């Protein structure tokens, strides 16, 4: 979802407060946001971040468990499910992704794990614009990770 129907660069910051009228698009943007935040957490707090800021040794890995037969589709119309159902997999496959992300040998900080336990390469298709958005401004990217984490920090400030 993060790479399928999100706006260019994954997040349209003008929509963060209001969202869109499409629940599906809002969900997709939230998935892109999770990926972007994961990469930013890896850079700031992770071991081996390479820029001197990752002193905390936290491992941050984004995960896409895949299209699973779960309660997530409760309430979806029967007509829609005619098209969606053939794309769904048994829920245990999502666990394979999570287990690989947590226990996979040689797991690297900041990666995105995709179904059913593979690391999504940063090279190649489909959404290089999102990968570029995650990079810091100093590294030639758009700095969305820093910007989005800043927005999140403002949102949770009243609760801290």
Q: Which residues are catalytic, by number?
A: 27, 31
> Where does residue 41 rank: exposed (0-12), middle (13-18), buried (19+ CB within 10 A)?
buried
Question: How many Å apart are CA 36 and CA 55, to the nearest integer?
Answer: 20
Give, in order, the Cα–Cα distances in Å from 14 to each of 19, 41, 63, 100. 9, 23, 26, 35
Check: CB of residue 114 under 8 Å from CB of residue 2: no
């Amino acid at each position: 979802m993060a790479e399928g129907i999100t706006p260019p660069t994954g997040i349209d910051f003008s929509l963060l407060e209001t969202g869109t009228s499409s629940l599906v698009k809002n969900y997709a943007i939230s998935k892109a946001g999770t990926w972007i935040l994961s990469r930013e957490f890896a850079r700031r707090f992770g071991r081996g971040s390479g820029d001197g800021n990752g002193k905390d040794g936290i491992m941050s890995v984004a995960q896409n468990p895949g299209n699973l037969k779960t309660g997530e589709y409760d309430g979806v119309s029967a007509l829609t499910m005619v098209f969606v159902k053939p794309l769904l997999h048994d829920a245990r496959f999502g666990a394979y992704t999570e287990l690989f992300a947590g226990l996979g040998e040689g797991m690297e900080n900041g990666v995105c794990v995709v179904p059913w336990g593979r690391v999504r390469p940063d090279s190649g298709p489909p959404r290089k614009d999102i990968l570029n958005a995650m990079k810091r401004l100093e590294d030639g990217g758009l700095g969305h990770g820093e910007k989005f984490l800043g927005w999140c920090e403002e949102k949770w400030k009243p609760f801290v």
